Chain A
Amino acid sequence: MQKELKDNGLGNVEEQMTTNPIAARHRRFNLIDFAFLCTSFAIASWCLLTGGVLGTFLPANHLMSACIIGVCMGTVIACFSVQGCTKYGLDQYVLLRAPFGINGVRFPVTLTIVIGLGWNTIILIMLASGCVTIVDAIYPLDESTKPILLRVFGFLGVLITFLISQTGPLGMKILTRITTPLLLFIMFVMFYMLFTKVGIDKIFSTAPGSPWLDPKISYFLGIELLFGLAMGWWPFLGALGRLANNNRAYYWGFWIGNGVIFGLMAIVGGISGLIFNTFNPPDWMIPLGGFFLGLVCLGFLALANISSTVIQVYPCAMASKQFDSMSSKSWRFLLFLCCIPMALVATIIPELYYEHCPSILAFCATFFAPMCGICIADLVFLRKKEIDVKSLYCKAKGSKFYYWKGINWIAIFTSVAGFLFYLWFLNPITLEYGETSPFPILLNATVPTVAFTCVLYTVLTKLITIPAKKGGFK
């Protein structure tokens, strides 16, 4: 009876709540199940936001192809780097102990927390902006009241996120079951409105409001930003990928859910952003949907935003457990710590921070493209996908992944070199391509960075790590 309760069609639930490996025999997510799981993870308010960012500087035909190309390519590269999670049923942070070391894994963990919370704050400000728009539509506000309300709603958003996150995966599951259909509803309504109210001719003839001088630069920057978003999936791929019962489900599931379906959804936000020249969804929902429908969609979007922030803050708090000083702290305390920076930004500089949303997208690629390159070199090319799982869990000096006092300094050095290499191509803050970058712009910034870190890590490992008999390479 107890066995039946544990294994209720979704695999052993208790195993999935720990960082212990899940053997393939205990996993129940086949290709279709896994594609649905990835779709519900990918479809969130960030679809409208990221598409909207592209809509401000790309015409319709370019933004459509940029949405699909960028996110699909990035997703496949990111999936390729951590395929070991599916092979052994490992949590990503456990798998990353192989390239970064037992203690060095805190480096990618820290980056994950920073980017995760940074992205969450954007979503919270979008939530606050939507709430201000709703209040303004019902009871017109004067301009001096709006910034105050924006901060109040931002703070309330953090508070609600903190309260719901405490319920853990159960709360997320219930929330996504409600919000995913609501978001799909918003997408279809807005898609219908775009083609009936605006019309296909106007969509394809509208010029973007803030294009770069060179249309080629606009186009490749669009692809690059969606690449950045796909790189932003990277820290979460392992947590989901270990539930897929084989790598066919893993690759195709992510490709369909996080790639194609996400891309299609981003197109809706993108076209709206193009027509209304703003990447902020609350700004175009009432003009597009009309007063009543617009308000309903804004209400749904607010709920979806809460769902997105809960989904993101949960892995950030989980990741913080990788630090010894945090592992014994209560779950509530970890969530509280994660919520503090979000509350500070949402109440002090919401407008300034929200304006730089495209930079957050670019920063995802800046940080995670080098990580992908290192994982591909270490786990796929050097270890040939064969990992000593026991050593991943052994924190003693004798572990193969102890390297130098628990840290693989080669991986850390390569990561930093990768960040600098990316910055050589593209400045994530100004979104300007470097004039001195060595390759033509057609190559974008993410792919060369992944390739560079992959080669650098392989060379340094063969020159230093393997001769020093560290890392358990054969």
Chain B
Amino acid sequence: MNDTDTLDPELLKQIEESECDAGRTETITLSEAIILFVITFVIFPLLGYLSY
């Protein structure tokens, strides 16, 4: 018997739903991620450097 078979059936159902939906949560695009990165790690420090 698999160890995970001992889990509560309701929990198992929620886990399956969660794994099934996992793909649809990854909506941030590469360009958005780059924008977030550039603002936070390039533009803000650059402005800080200029203010210094």
Closest to B11 in A: A20
Known: A65-B48, A65-B51. A390 touches B36 (CB 8 A): no
Q: How far is the CB of A379 from chain B (nearest CB, A)?
A: 13
- With an 8 A cutoff between CB atoms, is A251 at the interface? yes
Determine chain B's interface SS by DSSP, over half rule: helix
Q: Which chain A positions have C-beta within 8 A of B51?
A: 61-62, 64-65
Q: Which chain A positions have C-beta within 8 A of B27?
A: 246-248
Q: Which chain A positions have C-beta within 8 A of B26?
A: 87, 246-247
Closest to A222 in B: B48
* A89 touching B36, Cβ below 8 Å: no
* A390 touching B25, Cβ below 8 Å: no
Closest to A252 in B: B36
* B40 touching A255, Cβ below 8 Å: yes
- With an 8 A cutoff between CB atoms, is A68 at the interface? yes
* A393 touching B11, Cβ below 8 Å: yes
Closest to B15 in A: A389
Report the interface size for chain B: residues with CB under 8 A from the other chain.
34
Known: A24-B25, A87-B22, A246-B25. A251 touches B7 (CB 8 A): no
- With an 8 A cutoff between CB atoms, is B34 at the interface? no
Closest to B48 in A: A65
* B4 touching A391, Cβ below 8 Å: yes
The CA-CA distance from A399 to B7 in the complex, in Å, is 12
* B41 touching A251, Cβ below 8 Å: no
Q: Which chain A positions have C-beta within 8 A of B45?
A: 69, 73
Q: How far is the CB of B43 from chain A (nearest CB, A)?
A: 10
The CA-CA distance from A23 to B12 in the complex, in Å, is 12
Q: Which chain B positions have C-beta within 8 A of A15?
A: 14
Q: How far is the CB of A310 from chain B (nearest CB, A)?
A: 29
The CA-CA distance from A68 to B14 in the complex, in Å, is 39
Interface 1/0 per residue, A75-96 and B, CB below 8 Å: 0100000000011111000000
The CA-CA distance from A72 to B45 in the complex, in Å, is 10
Q: Which chain B positions have C-beta within 8 A of A246?
A: 24-28
* B3 touching A397, Cβ below 8 Å: yes
Interface 1/0 per residue, A294-320 and B, CB below 8 Å: 000000000000000000000000000
Q: Which chain A positions have C-beta within 8 A of B22?
A: 24, 87-88
Q: Which chain A positions have C-beta within 8 A of B14?
A: 15, 20-23
Q: Which of A32-71 contact B (CB under 8 A)?
A: 61-62, 64-66, 68-69
Q: How far is the CB of B44 from chain A (nearest CB, A)?
A: 5
* B4 touching A255, Cβ below 8 Å: no
* A23 touching B3, Cβ below 8 Å: no
Closest to A19 in B: B11
Q: Which chain B positions have C-beta within 8 A of A389?
A: 15, 18-19
The CA-CA distance from A251 to B6 in the complex, in Å, is 35
* B12 touching A390, Cβ below 8 Å: yes
- With an 8 A cutoff between CB atoms, is B20 at the interface? yes
* B25 touching A86, Cβ below 8 Å: yes
The CA-CA distance from A251 to B22 in the complex, in Å, is 16
- With an 8 A cutoff between CB atoms, is A394 at the interface? yes
Q: Which chain A positions have C-beta within 8 A of B17?
A: 21, 23, 25-26
* A65 touching B47, Cβ below 8 Å: yes
Q: Which chain B positions have C-beta within 8 A of A24?
A: 18, 21-22, 24-25
* A76 touching B48, Cβ below 8 Å: no
Known: A68-B44, A69-B44, A255-B36. A393 touches B15 (CB 8 A): yes
Q: Which chain A positions have C-beta within 8 A of B28?
A: 246-248, 251
Q: Which chain A positions have C-beta within 8 A of B18?
A: 21-24, 88-90, 389
- With an 8 A cutoff between CB atoms, is A398 at the interface? yes
* A88 touching B19, Cβ below 8 Å: yes
Q: How far is the CB of B30 from chain A (nearest CB, A)?
A: 12
* B7 touching A390, Cβ below 8 Å: yes
The CA-CA distance from A394 to B37 in the complex, in Å, is 36
The CA-CA distance from A120 to B12 in the complex, in Å, is 37
Q: How far is the CB of B49 from chain A (nearest CB, A)?
A: 9
Q: Which chain B positions have C-beta within 8 A of A349?
A: none
Seed contacts A21-B17, A223-B48, A393-B11; 17 additional CB < 8 Å A-B pairs: A23-B18, A23-B21, A24-B18, A24-B24, A25-B21, A65-B48, A73-B40, A73-B44, A87-B22, A87-B26, A88-B19, A246-B27, A251-B36, A389-B18, A394-B6, A396-B6, A398-B3
Q: Which residues of chain A have a CB within 8 Å of any CB of chain B?
A: 15, 20-26, 61-62, 64-66, 68-69, 72-73, 76, 86-90, 219, 223, 245-248, 251-252, 255, 259, 389-391, 393-394, 396-399
Q: Which 5 residue pairs across A and B have the least CB separation, nearest first? A: A398-B3, A23-B17, A21-B18, A24-B21, A65-B48
A-B contact pairs, 24 of them (CB 8 A): A20-B11, A20-B15, A21-B14, A21-B18, A23-B14, A24-B25, A61-B51, A65-B48, A65-B51, A65-B52, A73-B45, A88-B18, A88-B22, A90-B18, A219-B52, A245-B25, A246-B24, A390-B12, A391-B4, A393-B7, A393-B15, A394-B3, A394-B4, A397-B3
